[in-house]
Amino acid sequence: MQRICFTLKVKKDRLAEYKEAHAAVWPEMREALSAAGWNNYSLFCTDEGLVIGYLETEDFEAARAAMETADVNARWQAEMAPLFEDMDGRADENMAPLAEIFHID
């Protein structure tokens, strides 16, 4: 199982909107993520808009590829795109995993 952690930056003045959207993630988006192998997926954020994402998956590149083919993901990414700072393309295309340096197990 791969543990993936990544960061993104939401515009501070759009953070409330970002949080609101994630309080009510579309059921079909949740289903697509689960079907694609995005397990234990969590998002955290600071008051300044730094978003830290975490998920567990068997194969991150395969999980990303599966979401790329999901129509619901294209719609979700289009809704979220204006909320991010300094981003070329979609948020899911800008997820660069951080290097894991410690895990207790």
Q: Which positions are annotated as active-site residues?
A: 22
Residue type, position 61, single letter: E
- Residue written as token pair 């660069």: 96
| CA atoms within 13 A of residue 91's CA, in its CB half-sphere | 23
Q: DSSP of 56-91, one letter per residue? A: EES-HHHHHHHHHT-HHHHHHHHHHGGGBSS-SS-G
Measuring CA to CA, which residue among 102, 100, 91, 97 is closest to residue 6? 97
